[in-house]
Amino acid sequence: MIILEKRPEPSRLLSISTPVFAVIVTMIAGGLLFAALGKNPVEAIRTIFWDPLFGEYAFYYRPQLLVKGAPLVLIAIGLSLGFRAGIWNIGAEGQYIMGAICGAAAGLAFYPSESILIFPLMVIAGALGGWAWAMIPALLKVRFGTNEILVSLMLVYVAEQLLASMSLGLLKNPQGFGFPGSRNIAEWNAANSWIAQDYGMHWGVVAALIAVIMAYVLLNRHILGFNIRLTGEARRAARFAGVNPTRLILFCLGTSGMLAGLAGLFEVSGPSGQVSIDFNVGYGFTAIIVAFLGRLHPVGILLAGLLMALTYIGGDIAESQMGLPSSAIQVFQGMLLFFLLALDLLTNFRVKFASKGTA
Amino acid sequence: MTATLLSIRGLTKAYPGVVANDSVSFDIQQGEVHALLGENGAGKSTLVKMIYGLVKPDSGTMTWRGAEFAPPEPRAARASGVAMVFQHFSLFDALNVAENVALGMENPPPMRDLAAQIRSVSENYGLPLDPDRIVGDLSAGERQRVEIIRCLLQDPKLLIMDEPTSVLTPQEVEILFRTLNKLKSEGTAILYISHKLEEIRTLCDHATILRLGKNVGTCIPSETTAREMAELMVGDTLHTPTRTATEDGAPVLRINDLSLSSANPFGTRLKNISFTVHAGEILGIGGVAGNGQDELLAALSGEATSDTNTITVNDAPVGHLGPNERRALGILAAPEERLGHAAAPDMSLTENALLTGALRQKLTKNGFVNWNATRAFAERIIKAFDVRTPGPDTAARALSGGNLQKFVIGREVLQNPKVLVVNQPTWGVDAAAAASIRQALLDLAATGAAIVVISQDLDELMEIADHFGALNEGRMSEIHPALGLTIDEIGLMMGGADETEGAAA
């Protein structure tokens, strides 16, 4: 019989190494899945993990890693602050959309100005848009005690409707021959977020790195970060330590909304280029996986974001080259979170094999 | 008739890094009350867990009425006739008494029969309890009765009781003792675990004393003084705190007609509480658990805020202030629940030092934590209060209860409070640690701090308090000088007449 015994202290070694184990186990289980679908498992895994980095066309895929990784990391950093404190913002996707809409709208209002103030203005508007969208569940929670998980999640669908309405109405490109979608912001010098498009560098990458560093400093050096961790670990102790739960909820939801909004703004003014109906591709939801895969630790999230971006890109390649169904790729990505959470147990528990009866 | 019921020979159980029981041997006779004495960590819990089948011994044997006895699980032990009342109750607040009893039985009878059985057992053994009442509404003493009755319904031959009186009023203790004596006269053996030496002297026939996992002696409690037993337990002479003579200091903490509802739906509402604590005074607040102790601590620590003028410190109103604003004024507190309230279990001692020390120890600058200073503060606490731990990086939950309590109390005492409020400062703490905690409180009072000690340990309150009051259903009794109070007077302050008996009649 297998018994789980609680460790007196969480194992540091395992807490660092379980994500690696999770990736390996996912590769094995994913391989079995691909084999069951009649594909060569070794080739599939190699296509997903190796080809984007070192394959023949890696020069094309490597910049994609930054493009896809940056919004994931930026959003996940924000989410991780709340998750650490037990505040669950599930609606980053909606905040991401609102950031894009607000940022793009603020910029497009001055089209075709080439003022250097345009882009900073859009950044501020994008951050505010995401922040404001996240403040809805935050205020409802502190005022009426609503569940932030449900409210933030439902607001994603509201934001999606708004996105469609904006693409077809207010923000529609007047010179777009009636096609839905805004003007192409990426082609507008004063407003695009690219630094070096050939390398996948845009301001979102910079913002993600800054967010990682700031979050690290906040959690490890600042009393506010300490209070966030304390609230997550022992709510009563946090109350005793003088943490104001209301302020903490507003801060965590507000910050995560702001970062998601920024991610949306950088995306709309760079890689995506325009506000369109299908602008959002699920970064806000995937970032939840990234946050947990990275153990809610800033550096872990950075690595997890890159890994997740890799499976996205590799998954696309596997889809087009090997004909793997996209649902199989999604299952594969889901497995990663599943195994991570399952192996997570080992950090706090020791597995013992014992003969029956001693329990 | 004194046939041997359970005989234990050379029982040994080792955990990684510690030998919990080192060849312990003793016998329990039929129909005797046998005391198991020892400090925290002496190995009492491990020993009874082996008897109850929760833990398997590494070596040694047990014989039950001459036959080999090695219960692989509690069910087997119960089938042989071993029953156990745990220190921490395993009851569901939202269910009624009969439902809770049924949940703990192998084959519960239909609910109506069970209710009748509960009534008859409770009458037989003088444990008043209504099977239809919701457990959430019961006092700690009544909850314990639920556990006891659950055991008695199994008709046990050996009843193990783990510190049963820690939550009872003196009157409830008397009722319990009557019940235990009745069980004893019917031939049931009782293994009685307690810290409270006077109780053991009045109740128990034999005592086995454990120290660091070893059986260090047996005695007949009625013929041994409490002090001798305590010395056997601790291994060296007890350091008894000395009451510091206090002169009348200036009033520091004033509570004026404080009424406050509890944040917890099963909590107790505080009703019209007023009292004053002077500089250098220790006010002891007794009362049975669940009568507003947690709520009073929260109201004083600032976790629950009240009207501005209901609490004043040195004439400054503080009722509306939160915990940190009060800390700035020198009002510190140490809650009862060590893990999860006074300390964060998974955080290191350094981080836990920051938890309440950030402000007064100036451990942050512009919001940034000075970890070196915090670590130094944690080390200072560890040193000054003899906290046994590998170091300040150890997680709080890895410490034993006594050591963590020393840390929690030390953390507040070293911040030079003007007012210190502690709830159950020595609950579950071994005698040596308890003595040093009490001494620290006395020393603090000698420096002119006003101290409020909320405790269910009356001996403790009598030892250190100048003045005594009791909480009953959220109301505060009159405050009396502690000197000269009799145990009967205290009992009346704690609950008036024996209400529980009246309620069930």
ipTM comes to: 0.84
B60 alpha carbon, distance to own chain's centre: 32
For an interface test with A, the pick among B368, B370, B415 (most A C-beta atoms closer than 10 Å) comes out as: B368
pLDDT digits (tens, 9 = 90+) for B30-68: 889 999 887 766 788 888 889 998 888 899 999 998 888
What would the DSSP string read from start to end of A225-247? HHHHHHHHH-HHHHHHTT--HHH
Contact B344 A242 (CB under 8 A): no
Amino acid, single-letter form, for residue B287: G
* Residues contacting A312, CB < 8 A, separation 6+: A68, A286, A333
Residue B329: which of B260, B253, B255 has the closest Cα? Answer: B253
pLDDT tens for chain A, 359 residues long, are 677 777 776 677 777 788 888 889 999 999 999 999 998 999 999 999 998 998 888 888 999 999 999 999 999 999 999 999 999 999 999 999 999 999 999 999 998 889 999 999 999 999 999 999 999 999 999 999 999 999 999 999 999 999 999 999 999 998 888 888 999 998 898 888 899 888 889 999 999 999 999 999 999 999 999 999 999 999 999 999 999 999 999 999 999 999 999 999 999 999 999 999 999 999 999 999 899 888 899 999 999 999 999 988 999 999 998 889 989 988 998 888 888 888 888 777 887 776 554 44
Residue A234 lies in a domain: yes
**C-beta of residue B246 within 8 angstroms of C-beta of residue B265:** no
pLDDT digits (tens, 9 = 90+) for B275-293: 999 999 999 998 776 788 8
The reported pLDDT for the residue numbered B502 is 34
Residue A276 lies in a domain: yes
Amino acid, single-letter form, for residue A289: I
How far, in Å, CA of B401 to CA of B356, rounded?
19
Distance between A227 CA and the closest CA of chain B, angstroms: 9
A259 alpha carbon, distance to own chain's centre: 10
Residue B236: which of B429, B26, B385, B39 has the closest Cα? Answer: B39
Contact B345 A221 (CB under 8 A): no
Smallest CA–CA distance from B368 into chain A, residue = A222
A208 alpha carbon, distance to own chain's centre: 11
How far, in Å, CA of A98 to CA of B288, rounded?
56
The reported pLDDT for the residue numbered A17 is 83
Smallest CA–CA distance from B358 into chain A, residue = A223
**Owning domain of residue A50:** 40-323
Question: Residue B420 pLDDT more than 50?
Answer: yes
Can you state the angle between helices A203-221 and A245-268, rounded to 10 degrees? 160
Tokens of B197: 């030496």
Domain with CATH 3.40.50.300 in chain B: 4-234, 251-497
Q: Are strands B206-211 and A349-353 parallel, antiparallel or unpaired?
A: unpaired
* Residues contacting A188, CB < 8 A, separation 6+: A107, A111, A112
Q: Residue B329, SS3?
A: coil
Nearest to B344 among A8, A221, A230 (CB): A230
How far, in Å, CA of A135 to CA of A139, rounded?
6
* Residues contacting A336, CB < 8 A, separation 6+: A22, A23, A26, A289, A293, A308, A311
pLDDT digits (tens, 9 = 90+) for B58-68: 999 999 988 88
Task: Specify the long-range contacts of residues B100-109, CB closer than 8 Å, at least 24 apart.
Answer: B100/B135, B100/B146, B100/B150, B101/B131, B101/B146, B101/B149, B101/B150, B101/B153, B104/B150, B105/B150, B105/B153, B105/B154, B106/B75, B106/B78
Question: Structurally, what CATH architecture does the domain formed by B251-497 represent?
Answer: 3-Layer(aba) Sandwich (3.40)
pLDDT digits (tens, 9 = 90+) for B345-371: 999 999 999 999 999 999 999 999 999
Q: How confident is the model at residue B400 (pLDDT cuts 50, 70, 90)?
A: confident
Residue A332: which of A68, A54, A50, A23 has the closest Cα? Answer: A23
Helices (H), B125-222: 140-152, 170-185, 197-203
Question: Residue B498 pLDDT more than 50?
Answer: no
Tokens of B441: 């409180």
Helices (H), A3-111: 12-36, 41-49, 51-54, 58-84, 92-108
Nearest to A241 among B323, B397, B398 (CB): B323
Residue numbers in A near B302 (CB within 8 A): 242
CATH of segment(s) B4-234? 3.40.50.300
How many CB atoms neighbour CB B120 within 10 A? 11
Q: Residue A104, SS3?
A: helix
Question: Residue B339 pLDDT more than 50?
Answer: yes
* Residues contacting A125, CB < 8 A, separation 6+: A102, A103, A105, A106, A107, A265
Residue numbers in B near A10 (CB within 8 A): 346, 395
**Measured between CB atoms, does A352 come within 8 Å of chain B?**
no
Amino acid, single-letter form, for residue B105: M
Q: Are strands B158-162 and A349-353 parallel, antiparallel or unpaired?
A: unpaired
Amino acid, single-letter form, for residue B180: L
What is the residue-averaged pLDDT of chain B?
85
pLDDT digits (tens, 9 = 90+) for B198-228: 788 888 999 998 887 888 888 888 888 777 7
Q: Specify the CATH number for the domain of residue A122.
A: 1.10.3470
How far, in Å, CA of B471 to CA of B300, rounded?
15
**C-beta of residue B388 within 8 angstroms of C-beta of residue B410:** no
Distance between A276 CA and the closest CA of chain B, angstroms: 42
For an interface test with B, the pick among A228, A240, A251, A348 (most B C-beta atoms closer than 10 Å) comes out as: A240
The reported pLDDT for the residue numbered B243 is 56
Tokens of A197: 């498009």
Element (H, E) at B234: helix B226-234
- What Cα–Cα distance (Å) separates residue B151 from each residue in A325, B174, B179? 61, 19, 13
What percentage of chain B carries pLDDT values higher than 70? 92
**C-beta of residue B436 within 8 angstroms of C-beta of residue B330:** no
Q: Residue B95, SS3?
A: coil
Smallest CA–CA distance from B397 into chain A, residue = A8
Q: Are strands B251-260 and B270-278 parallel, antiparallel or unpaired?
A: antiparallel
Nearest to A230 among B56, B355, B368 (CB): B355
Nearest to B347 among A8, A233, A357 (CB): A233
How many CB atoms neighbour CB B328 within 10 A? 12
Q: Residues B16-32: what's their mean pLDDT?
A: 84
Residue A350 lies in a domain: no
Q: How confident is the model at residue B17 (pLDDT cuts 50, 70, 90)?
A: low
Domain count, chain A: 1
Tokens of A73: 């990391």
Tokens of A167: 């693409």
**C-beta of residue B189 within 8 angstroms of C-beta of residue B182:** no
A235 alpha carbon, distance to own chain's centre: 26
Q: How confident is the model at residue B414 (pLDDT cuts 50, 70, 90)?
A: very high
- What Cα–Cα distance (Å) separates residue B284 from each residue in A137, A221, B40? 46, 40, 24
Tokens of B259: 């009424």
Nearest to A237 among B302, B325, B343 (CB): B343
The reported pLDDT for the residue numbered A354 is 64
The reported pLDDT for the residue numbered A124 is 97
Q: How confident is the model at residue B236 (pLDDT cuts 50, 70, 90)?
A: low
How far, in Å, CA of A316 to CA of A323, rounded?
10
What would the DSSP string read from start to end of A139-150? HHHHHH---HHH
Element (H, E) at A300: helix A298-322
**Measured between CB atoms, does A244 come within 8 Å of chain B?**
yes
Distance between B355 CA and the closest CA of chain A, angstroms: 5
The reported pLDDT for the residue numbered A341 is 81
- What Cα–Cα distance (Å) separates residue A217 from each residue in A224, A226, A298, B355? 10, 11, 9, 18
Question: How many residues comprise chain A?
Answer: 359
Burial code (b: 16+ CB inside 10 Å, e: under 16) for B447-469 equals: eebbbbbbbbbbebbbbbbbbbb
Question: Residue B184 pLDDT more than 80?
Answer: yes
- What Cα–Cα distance (Å) separates residue A63 from each residue in A57, A165, B14? 11, 32, 58
